[in-house]
Structure 1
Amino acid sequence: MTRRLIGALAVITTLLLSGCGNDYGIDQYGQKVASERVDKQWLVINYWAEWCGPCRIEIPELNTLAEQLKGQPVSVFGVNFDNVQGEELKSASEKLGIKFTVLAQNPEAIFDIPRSEVLPVTYIIDDKGKVREQLLGEQTAAGVMARLKALRG
C-alpha cells in the first residue's frame, strides 16, 4: 500500500513538473505569455525605446520578420529598454506600430542576456535558451532571417 502511494505521488509530481515552464510574465496588452510560445523555440528578442530613432526605422522590419516566421519554431519578441509597464507600454508599442509580442518582463535573467547600452539591439537565442548572436543597430528582416538560417544550420 505504501509503495503504491509513493508511486502514485511520483507520477503526479512528474506530471505537475512537466507542465511548468519559465514564467515570461505578460505582454503589452496584459495577456500572459505562455511558456509553450517560448520554450524550445528559437527567439529573436529586440530591445527598443520610444525615443530611439533607429528603433523606429527597424520596427517595420521586425514586424515583417515576425510575419515571415509564423508557423515556424521561431518567435519575435520585443522588450522596452526603459522598462515601461502597463498602459504606458501598450501606448508606446502602439505608437511605434509594433505588431509582435512585447514582453513586459525583461527576460535577461532567464536567458543570461548581456546588458547593452546601445539601441537597438537584437539577440538570437537558440531552442535551448542560449544566446547565439548579438546584433547591434538597425536590422532588416532579410538580415535577421539570414543569421537565423546560418545559426540553425
Structure 2
Amino acid sequence: MSEKKIGKNASKAASAAPRATSGRKTPPTKSADGVVLLTGGNPQIAKGYGDAPIQQYIAAMPGWKSDLGKRLDRLIVEAVPGVEKAVKWNSPFYGMEKDVWFLGFHCMTKYVKVAFFRGAQFSPMPPGTSKQPDVRYLDIYEADELDEAQFLDWVKQASELPGENM
C-alpha cells in the first residue's frame, strides 16, 4: 500500500513542479514576406525615414490591415502632399518636418489604431480618447466603413497644428 501512495504522491508532485524546457521559445509569427509580427500582428520594421520603410510596414501588415494601410497612406499623401514619413517604434509616422509628427498608426489584434497627436483640438474630434489630453484615436475594424472625407479633414487639421517631437 505504501508503494501506491508514494507513486500517487510522486505523480502529483511531478505534475505540480515546473516543467523543464529546452530554452526554445515559440517561433515568432511572420508576415507573408517574412517580417516578424509583434503582439497584435504589428510588423517589426527597422527605424527608417522616407516612403520605403512605410511601404515595407504596410506590405507586412497582416490580412485586411495591409489594404487599409495602403488606403490610409494614400489619403494622408492626398491631404498633405510632400508629407514627411518615418517608421519609428514599429509604427508609421507622418509629419510636416523630420521628427515632428502629427499622426501615426499601429496594428492591434482586431483593428488599426490611428493616433492624432493633437486630435483634441479638431472639430469634430476623433472618437477615441487617450490618457494624454491632446491625443485622440480612430480605431478602424475590418467591417468598418472609413469616412474618407472626415479622415481627410482630420489629416488636414492635424497638418496645420504643431506636431509632436519624437
* Higher RCO structure (Cα 8 Å, ≥6 apart): 1
Q: Name the TM-score, length of structure 2 as normaliser.
A: 0.25
Q: Name the TM-score, length of structure 1 as normaliser.
A: 0.27
Higher gyration radius (CA): 2
Relative to total residues, which structure has the larger strand share, 1 or 2? 2
Relative to total residues, which structure has the larger helix share, 1 or 2? 1
